Amino acid sequence: MPIVHPLFFKSMFVDEAIIFVKGGDGGNGCVSFRREKYIPHGGPDGGNGGKGGDVIFRVSDKIDTLLDLTSRVKYIAESGAHGKGSTKKGKDGKDLITDLPRGTVVKDKESGRILKDMSTVGESVVIAPGGRGGRGNKHFATSTNQVPRRAEKGRLGEERWLALELKLLADVGLIGMPNAGKSTLLSRISAARPKIADYPFTTLQPQLGIVEIENYQRFVVADIPGLIEGAHRGIGLGDEFLRHIERTKLLVHLLDVSPLARTDPSDAYHIVRNELKQYNSKLAEKAEIVIANKMDLLDTEAGMKFIETLEGKISKPVCPVSMVTGKNIGNLLNMVASALNKIQTQMSEYQ
Ligand SMILES: Nc1nc2c(ncn2[C@@H]2O[C@H](COP(=O)(O)OP(=O)(O)OP(=O)(O)O)[C@@H](O)[C@H]2O)c(=O)[nH]1
Ligand SMILES: [Mg+2]
């Protein structure tokens, strides 16, 4: 089991990466004339420039997020070398091959047009071709002009800004009543920056975050709008957002235990559980970790008693946390990681 400390985990959200790609420029053609003993005016022998390298995207099953791509913005392939005398062609620039996770959609950033849907492992596409090398002056010799002093410049490599998008399946779904602190949790453990505010229904759309902990273990967390009683009948924002967490492996259920909470936490727990059941009994059968949030607003000793009572009322262990002080977030991540590992093992045994 990974040991995680709140200060230690490095977490990021990426299901989009904005990058710049540019094929290498072609090398220039060369203007040169043969110099040989006893031949005062040798013919043209300027070589062609080399071709610029291509930027190539390849689908790999070794990576599952766009995380690694964001460490760098510019992906520029090597330029071709210029041509030389003695009809020496310049060396071609090296291709720049970049691996992407399966399912990445490559869009032109300006127009939003989809350029490529990278769906098959192993497939590759030239996303920014390198420029052709310019031709050397040897190429321009004709019967009327045997001493051409002109050579071509290499063509520039193609360049563009891209938006890469990856639709991620969430491993963990955050559930709870409005204002429980779901988005705050997502922002504490990932690089996602969801809207957080002290009123219900701040989150209007599901948000995803990637959490990265030690040992390179990563998981995707989905934050969805809060549920209230009658959500399955369309009350509040309704329950249709639950479909976004239908395929998760684990639920993290947040309860607001502060004195300011509008609903008693054990009632809140049962209300949300009931909405889950009404929506889909399979969803309600998923493994669940219950957390008591906003512990910073309770007196320490009274807080622990409160948790004990709460555990009794809902017949489940409850993990006390505070998103404000960060207390126990590391523990929570440990619990999530080991629960996911356990579920993964069970799934592979079952298969
Ligand atoms: N004191 C305290 N406040 C918290 C804590 N966690 C969240 N909050 C505050 O609680 C309010 C609601 O937080 P959100 O993260 O927006 O709650 P949510 O569950 O995403 O709410 P909805 O999107 O409306 O469902 C914000 O004002 C947060 O700053 C905590 O641990 N302690
Ligand atoms: Mg929210």
5 within domain boundaries: no
Atom of ligand 1 nearest to the CA of 204: 23
pLDDT digits (tens, 9 = 90+) for 237-257: 888 888 878 888 999 999 999
Q: Would you give the DSSP letter of residue 233?
A: G
Do 256 and 308 reside in the same domain of the chain? Answer: yes
Do 184 and 156 reside in the same domain of the chain? Answer: no
3 within domain boundaries: no
- Cβ 161 vs Cβ 150: under 8 Å: no
Do 91 and 180 reside in the same domain of the chain? Answer: no
Domain boundary among 136, 166, 196: 166
pLDDT given at position 337: 93
What does the alpha-carbon distance between residue 222 and residue 183 come to, in Å, rounded to a whole number? 9
- Looking at all shown ligands, the one closest to residue 227's CA atom is 1
How many angstroms does the Cα of residue 66 sit away from the middle of ligand 2?
24
Among 174, 177, 179, 271, residue to substitute to test ligand 1 (most atoms within 8 Å of Cβ):
179
What Å distances lie between residue 50 and 70, 136, 140, CA to CA? Answer: 30, 11, 17
What does the alpha-carbon distance between residue 293 and residue 318 come to, in Å, rounded to a whole number? 10
State which amino acid sits at residue 114.
I
Do 209 and 133 reside in the same domain of the chain? Answer: no
Q: Whose CA is nearest to atom 2 of ligand 1?
A: 294
Tokens 């947040």 locate to 254
Do 114 and 212 reside in the same domain of the chain? Answer: no
What does the alpha-carbon distance between residue 100 and residue 105 come to, in Å, rounded to a whole number? 10
Among 185, 186, 196, residue to substitute to test ligand 1 (most atoms within 8 Å of Cβ):
196
Q: Whose CA is nearest to atom 16 of ligand 1?
A: 196
pLDDT given at position 350: 66
Name all residues whose Cβ lies below 6 A of ligand 1: 176, 178-184, 196-198, 200-203, 225-226, 293-294, 296-297, 322-324
pLDDT digits (tens, 9 = 90+) for 23-55: 999 999 999 998 877 776 778 999 999 999 999
How many angstroms does the Cα of residue 293 sit away from the middle of ligand 1?
9
Do 151 and 194 reside in the same domain of the chain? Answer: no
Q: Whose CA is nearest to atom 32 of ligand 1?
A: 294
Q: What is the CATH number of the domain that holds 279?
A: 3.40.50.300
For 210, residues 6+ apart whose C-beta sits below 8 A from its C-beta are 11, 12, 13, 14, 15, 65, 67, 168, 190, 191, 192, 218, 219, 220, 221
Could you tell me which of 74, 72, 69, 77 has the C-alpha nearest to residue 129?
Answer: 77
Domain boundary among 166, 184, 215: 166
How do strand 74-76 and strand 55-60 relate by DSSP bridges? unpaired
Its sign, for the CA torsion 330, 316, 183, 163, is positive
Do 211 and 158 reside in the same domain of the chain? Answer: no
Do 112 and 237 reside in the same domain of the chain? Answer: no
Q: How far is CA 243 from the centre of its chain?
A: 21
pLDDT given at position 15: 66
pLDDT given at position 217: 78
- Looking at all shown ligands, the one closest to residue 201's CA atom is 1
pLDDT < 70 stretches in the chain: 1-15, 40, 168, 215-216, 350-351
Note down the domain range covering 258.
Answer: 172-350
Three-class DSSP labels, 160-227:
EEEEEEECCCCCEEEEECCCCCHHHHHHHHCCCCCCCCCCCCCCCCCEEEEEECHHHCEEEEEECCCC
What does the alpha-carbon distance between residue 16 and residue 166 come to, in Å, rounded to a whole number? 6
Do 211 and 272 reside in the same domain of the chain? Answer: yes
How many angstroms does the Cα of residue 181 sit away from the middle of ligand 1?
3
- Cβ 289 vs Cβ 343: under 8 Å: no
Q: Whose CA is nearest to atom 3 of ligand 1?
A: 294
How many angstroms does the Cα of residue 91 sit away from the middle of ligand 2?
55
- Cβ 165 vs Cβ 105: under 8 Å: yes
Do 132 and 264 reside in the same domain of the chain? Answer: no
Do 67 and 196 reside in the same domain of the chain? Answer: no
pLDDT given at position 67: 74
